[in-house]
Structure 1
């Protein structure tokens, strides 16, 4: 979904979620059962079907200030009033202030975009892709399973950085840090560090496994 450049600030319903960081382009299925969020979803479905997802900080137990807009692409109403919705991550935003908190949070938000890169990030994206493939190959060997990357792995540096960020499962704090970065190069370099460390760890485990099995 395109966001009009003229609308820099707007009001957005907000959905705080524990340990969940939504990235642009990421599908997010939700089961809506709390009454206040049923109200929110029904309101959204009658308008533009968009709301903001914010990770709840596990230490401070407060919603983050930067999140990602979600658009409802499919939904199912259940007999008891609950809803199952499938959403897709759109553009990132920063909460400037809260307009209200009941029956659900509504924030005054500003849309965020990465800064224009000062240089061609193609070589860096290729380096990160190679590291990613190495991690997948080593993981498959260790688990003795067929693990393959999707055929439609993004080639755009920014989209690739989002894809890697949303697939760092079990690392919500790190994911939130990546989401908040407003520089594609910085995000890719951080991901390169993570993947390089993971590759080295997996390589060492692979050598140990081969040694013990020989």
Structure 2
């Protein structure tokens, strides 16, 4: 495979964390290697991927103090090969050097080739795209979206902020594809299930799976 045209992405593995396009994901970065990674990404405008992890590759000795945590790297993980990424924005730097950033997640990617592994991973990645829905599938997806909205509003109870958000024109008018991702800014499922949904290339299928889970919850 010719990998020259692929995009370079810096990987930030976080166990049990799955993010989706459309999210703004806040990160508190304290490990030295990842502080360096963020600085490089800011300088080079290189996207950061937030990756759920398959396993630990190297287990570090736990830090006993905040000072120690800021001066040594922690466990090293193998990420799942499908993840979401986007450019980051530096929000602030604490007095002890920790970075507070926002990652503006805007696309799914597939890891093709690691080009750097130490002190952090940079990989060549390609877009991970949905299949194109047919007209009848688009109609079915819109029906599922409406059902999910009604279920979420019912689950929200007295949470007026969530209800207002779900009833807003912005959320009511989202495409089925966008909604199938951004719904995870409101609900959180078991991480491996969210990873499986992230890897699903059909908006119709993703919405059906979300609705099935909501129906199971009553």
TM-score by length of 2: 0.77
Residue segments in structure 2 that go unaligned for 5+ positions in a row = 58-76
Aligned with 2:51: secondary structure?
A: strand
How many Å separate the matches in 1 of 2:156 and 2:210?
20
Aligned with 1:104: secondary structure?
A: coil
Q: Is the 8 A contact 1:19 1:58 kept in 2?
A: no
How many Å separate the matches in 2 of 1:62 and 1:149?
39
Decide whether aligned partners of structure 1 residues 195 and 137 sit closer, same or farther in structure 2, where only a CA change above 3 A counts: same
**Aligned pair count?**
191
How many Å separate the matches in 1 of 2:32 and 2:56?
26
The answer as to 2:107 corresponding to 1:84 is no
Q: Which residue of 2 aligns with 1:54?
A: 51
How many Å separate the matches in 2 of 1:145 and 1:37?
36
Q: Which residue of 2 aligns with 1:131?
A: 147
How many Å separate the matches in 2 of 1:57 and 1:42?
26
Pick aligned residue for 1:169 from 164, 188, 212 = 188
How many Å separate the matches in 2 of 1:73 and 1:98?
24
TM-score by length of 1: 0.78
Decide whether aligned partners of structure 1 residues 134 and 184 sit closer, same or farther in structure 2, where only a CA change above 3 A counts: closer
Aligned with 2:97: secondary structure?
A: coil
CA offsets, 1:152-181, max 9 Å, x none? 215211101112244331421111111111
CA RMSD of aligned residues (A): 2.4
How many Å separate the matches in 1 of 2:164 and 2:152?
7
How many Å separate the matches in 2 of 1:180 and 1:140?
27
Aligned with 2:187: secondary structure?
A: coil
The answer as to 2:210 corresponding to 1:188 is no
Residue segments in structure 1 that go unaligned for 5+ positions in a row = 1-6, 202-214
